[in-house]
Chain A
Amino acid sequence: MGKIDTRVWLVVIAATLFVCLAYVPAIVREGDFVLAVSDVFLYESMINGLLLGGVLALLSLGLNLIFGVVDVVWICYAEIVMLGMYGIYYLHSVYGVPLAIAMPAGILITAAIGYAVHELVIRHLLDSAPINQLLATGGLLFFFQSVATLAFGIDFRNLGVSLGSFPLTEDIYISWSRLAAFAVAAACVVFLYLFLTRTFMGTAIRAISQDREIMTLMGAAQGRLYLISSAIGGGLAGLAACLLVLQYDVHPFVGLSFGPITFMICVLGGLGNMVGGFIAAFIFSELIALGGYHFDLEWGYVFAFVFFIAMMFVRPEGIMGRRS
C-alpha cells in the first residue's frame, strides 16, 4: 500500500515537473500562454527527446543486465560502445565492408570485449568490495580511451551514412536513424524479456541474480552464466554502437558524453530492473531535450543530473527497484 502510494506520487510529481519545464520558461520569456503552448518547435524537441530516450534505453539495457546479474558497475560500458562504433566505422569506411556485415561484426567485437572484461578482470574481483570492482572498470575506461586515441587518433570521424528524415507535420521532421534506434531499443527490451522469462538460460540467469550462493549450491554454473551475461551485455553495447554511429561522430572521448547518464539511468530505474531503466531513460531524455530547448544542451544535462541526485535521496532503490 505504502509502496504504491509513493509511486503514484512520483508519477504526479514527475508529470507536473515535465509540464512546468515544458511551458513555464516560454511563458516567462514571452509572457504569452497561447504562444508558449502552440510552439511547434517545443513539440519537435519533445519528440526528439522521446527518440533520444530510445537510444539511452538501449544503452542502459546491456549495462542493466550486467548490473542485475553480476552485480558489478561497468564504468567503462560507454567506452565499449565507443570501440564498437570505431569497429563499424573502420570496417565500413576504411575497408569497404557493407554495413549489413559491418554492424553484426561490430556487435561480435563488443560481445568479445564484454566476455574478455569479465574473464580477465571482473572474475578476479567478484569477492572484493563493490567499490574496487567499480574502480577496476574505471581503469578499463582509461585503457579503452587511450587505446582508441593511440590506434585511431583524436579526429572526429563520421560514417557518412545518413538515413535521412521524414516530415511528421509541415514543421516537424523526424530522423529515421533516431526512429530506428527507438524501435530497436523497444524490440530489444521485448526480446530480452522473452529471453529471460521463456528460456532455460534466461531462467538460470534470473535465478542466479536473485541468490548467488544458493543457486551455486543447487548446481548452477555461476561462472558460465556470468560470462554469458557479460557477453550479451557487450553485444548490446555493440547494438547501441550500430545506432549511435549513424547519428554521431566517433572520437575516443565520445563515451564520456553519454557514459555517466547511462549509469544514472540504470540506478534511477532500479539496478537490474529493465522496465525501470526504460522509464528512467525517457525521464532523462525529456529533461535533456526540454532543458536543451529552452536553455542550453548543457543545462539539460545539469537538470538531469540534479534530478538524479535528488531522486537518490527520495528513492535510493530506484523508481521500480526493491531495496536490498
Chain B
Amino acid sequence: MKGLALPFVFAALLAVAALIGIPSYPLHIMIVILIWAFTYTGWSLMGRFGLVSLGHGAFMGVGAYATALLWNYAGMTPWLGIPIALALAALLAVVVGYPCFKFRITGHYFALVTLALTEVVRQTVIATRDHTGGSLGFTPTPKGNDDTPGYIALQFDEKETWFLIAVLVWLVGLLIWRAVDRSMVRNALDAISEDEDSAAAAGINVTWEKLKITVLSAIMTAFGGCMYVQYQMFVSPDTVSGIGISLQIVFAVVAGGVFTKFGPTFGAIITLLLAEMLRIYIGTDAVGLDNAIYGVALVLFIVFLPKGILGSIEDAVGRQIGKVERSRAAAGSGARGA
C-alpha cells in the first residue's frame, strides 16, 4: 500500500475530526472540496495523457441531471438512478470518443469537439426547460419527513454523513488513479501521447486504449455530478455544463498538477479556498475577483509551471534527492577506487 498510507491516515484523521464535531461551515467547504477533487481526479486521468477534454461539463451534466430527473419524475432512488446516469455518460463518451479516436482527432481539434459536446448538453438542458427548469436550475424533490428514509433518497440532513461519504468517494478516486497509474493502460497511453503512429506500429490498439480511459474518466466525472446534485440539492446548466465549468475543471487540475496523484485535490483546495476567502474577506463587492485571479494564475501556470504547483514541488524535491543520491554514489565509488 505504499503511496496510499498518507491519504488513508489523512482520511481517518478527517473522519475522526468530523465525528468529534467541526462547525458546519468548514465541514461544508471540505465536503465540496472532496467532491470536486474526485471530479478533477477523473479529468486528470485523461488530461495526463494529453487528451485534453473541454467536454467534461457534458458528463457532469448528464450525471447530475439524469439522477435528479429520474428521482423527481420516476420516483427512482438514486441507488438505481446513479448507475443509469453513469451508463448514459459512458454511452455519450463512447458515441463521441470512438469516432474521435478512430479518425485521429487530437490536440486542439479534440478539445474543440469536446467543447461542442459540453455546449450540446448545456443547450439541451436549457431547451428542455419544461422538465429541467432551464437556466433557472433544478431542485431534486426533498424526501418526505415521514416515509422515505434518507439512505433511500440519498439525502441526508447531517453534514457529518455527507462528509464521510465525500471522504470515501475521494479515496475511491485516488484508488482508481493509482490503479491506472500502475496498469499497462498507462504505459500504452504514455506511448500514444508521445507518438501515436509509433505506438500503433508497436502493436498498441490506439482507439481502444484511449476509449477505455475516456469512458472511465467520463464515468468518474458523471459520478462527481451525481454527488454534487445530491449534496447541493440544486443544479443549473451553468454550474455543471458549458464552457465555463469545463475550463474550471481544466484550470484546477493544471494549477494543482496533472501528473501527480494529489495534484487535482490540491487544485480543488486552492481554487475553492481562494474563492471562499475572497468572498468572506472582500465580500460581494468583489464578485468576479476570484475568477480574475484564476485567469491570471492559469496563464502564469501554463507559462512558468506547466506541471502545476504540486508537480513542480515534487519535481524540485525529486531533483534534490536525486542530487544527494548521485553525490553519495559518486562518493561511494570514489571511496572504492581509493
Which positions in A face B, CB cutoff 8 Å?
73, 75, 121, 124-125, 128-136, 138-150, 154, 252, 256, 259-260, 263-264, 267, 295-296, 298-299, 301-302, 305-306, 308-309, 312-313, 316
Q: Which residues of B contact A299 (CB under 8 A)?
A: 123, 127
Chain B interface category by residue count:
35 or more
B308 CB, nearest partner CB in chain A, Å: 12
In whole Å, how far is A191's beta carbon from the nearest beta carbon of chain B? 27
Complex CA distance for A306 and B115, rounded to whole angstroms:
11
Question: Does B294 count as interface, using CB distance less than 8 angstroms?
Answer: yes
Inter-chain CA distance A259–B287, complex, in Å, is 22
Known contacts A139-B302, A147-B292; 16 additional CB pairs below 8 A are A73-B111, A121-B303, A125-B303, A136-B302, A139-B297, A141-B247, A141-B295, A142-B247, A142-B294, A146-B289, A154-B287, A256-B242, A263-B112, A267-B112, A298-B127, A316-B105
B169 adjacent to chain A (CB < 8 Å): no
A144 — nearest CB in chain B belongs to which residue? Answer: B295
Whole-angstrom distance between the alpha carbons of A259 and B117 in the complex? 14
Contact sample, A vs B, 24 pairs, CB 8 Å cutoff = A75-B247, A121-B303, A124-B303, A130-B108, A131-B107, A131-B108, A135-B250, A145-B288, A146-B290, A146-B292, A256-B243, A264-B112, A267-B109, A267-B112, A298-B123, A298-B124, A301-B123, A302-B123, A302-B124, A305-B117, A309-B120, A313-B99, A313-B103, A316-B105
**Which residues of chain A come closer than 8 Å to B251, judged between CB atoms?**
135, 138-139, 142
CA of A134 to CA of B102 in the docked complex: distance in angstroms?
A: 23
When C-beta atoms are compared, the residue in chain B nearest to A134 turns out to be: B108
Assembly CA distance A184 to B296 (angstroms): 34
Residues of chain B having any CB pair with chain A under 8 Å:
50, 52, 96, 99-100, 102-105, 107-109, 111-113, 115-117, 119-120, 123-124, 126-127, 242-244, 247, 250-251, 254, 286-292, 294-299, 301-303, 306
Considering the chains assembled together, what is the distance between the CA atoms of A298 and B111 in angstroms? 22
Chain B residues contacting A140 (CB-CB under 8 Å) are: 295, 299
Residue among B119, B244, B287, B306 with the highest chain A CB neighbour number at 10 A: B119
Q: A124, A138, A154, A301: which contacts B119 (Cβ < 8 A)?
A: A301
Q: Is the CB of A121 within 8 A of B52?
A: no
Q: In the bound complex, do residue A298 and residue B126 qualify as a contact, i.e. CB atoms below 8 Å apart?
A: yes
CA A73 – CA B113 in complex, angstroms? Answer: 13
Which residue of chain A has its CB nearest to the CB of B134?
A: A298
Decide if A146 touches B295 in the complex (CB within 8 Å).
yes
Q: Which residues of A contact B306 (CB under 8 A)?
A: 128, 132
| Distance between Cα atoms of A134 and B299 in the complex (Å) | 10
In the complex, what residues of A have CB within 8 A of residue B116's CB?
Answer: 260, 264, 305-306, 308-309
